[in-house]
Amino acid sequence: MITTLGPAQFLLLAQGLAWTLALSAIGFALGGLGGLVIALARSSGLKWLEGLAAFFIEVFRGTPLLLQLFIVYYGVGLLDLSVSPWMAVSIALMLHASAFLGEIWRGSIEAIPAGQTEAALALGIHYATRMRYIILPQALKISVPATIGFLVQLVKGTSLAAIIGFTELSRTGTLLSNITYRPLLIFGIVGLAYFAVCWPLSRLGRAMERRLTPAART
């Protein structure tokens, strides 16, 4: 039976889009936290901790997200825990985003001139205060373009969650194209939906880059 493309199908696509956005938000939120931890560990000055963080970064940047999703999904399953796809995807996206954001933010932290740390030390300011009030505000500011760039990758990357049965935007598209037999139309719409999310993000990223560049020069 061939279904036509009506309001019900658009509702499904909208739901798929909502899941995609939710997955991206989860990945970014959890990955943001994890990434902060990784970036701080990576620039902590403690050799073993830096090594550990570097290893984590290399592993999760050097393997496909798809593989990470599989391993988390089946791996956690092996531990005899029942994992919902939600859990598996959240964990995998978190690990993935932590590695990428951690590396981006490490770079920004290290780009802050040593004089800032020295001035803080000379004033007797301890690590936590130094990071919170002096280093991170400057580092996060210069990392905004790269961070948004990664966010765009992440939105598109969530489509891989379809592999373990997650009905986000891409998978909704696949299902609909199977019942409507109009794959081009459906995937055209799906593509437009991704574009509608990612393009403004990219624009925002570029606008911020332009705004930040002159400041970096002075």
Partner 1 sequence: MPGTEEPAILMEGVDKYYGAFQALKSVNFRVASGERIVLCGPSGSGKSTLVRCINRLETVQRGRIVVDGTELTAGRKAVDAVRRDVGMVFQQFNLFPHMTVLQNCMLAPIKVRGARREEARETAMRLLARVQIQEQANKYPAQLSGGQQQRVAIARALCMSPRIMLFDEPTSALDPEMVKEVLDTMIGLAAESVTMVCVTHEMGFARAVANRVVFMADGEIVEEAPPDEFFSAPKHRRTQAFLGQLLKH
Name the residue nearer to partner 1 (CB basis): 139 or 169. Answer: 139
> Helix (H, G, I), strand (E, B), or coil: what is residue 160?
helix
> Shortest Cβ distance from residue 215 to partner 1 (Å)?
8
Site track 96-125 with partner 1 (rule: CB under 8 A), x = hit: -----------------x-xx-xx-xxxxx
Name the residue nearer to partner 1 (CB basis): 136 or 154. Answer: 136
Phi–psi pair at 45, nearest 5 degrees: 90, -10
Cβ 46 vs Cβ 58: under 8 Å: no
Instruction: Tell whether the torsion through CA atoms of 12, 15, 20 and 23 is positive or negative.
Output: negative
Cβ 162 vs Cβ 170: under 8 Å: yes
CA angle 83, 191, 27 (to 5 degrees): 35
Q: Is 144 a residue that touches partner 1 (CB under 8 A)?
A: no
> Shortest Cβ distance from residue 141 to partner 1 (Å)?
7
**Which stretches of the chain bind partner 1, using CB under 8 A?**
113, 115-116, 118-119, 121-126, 129, 133-134, 137-138, 141, 215, 218
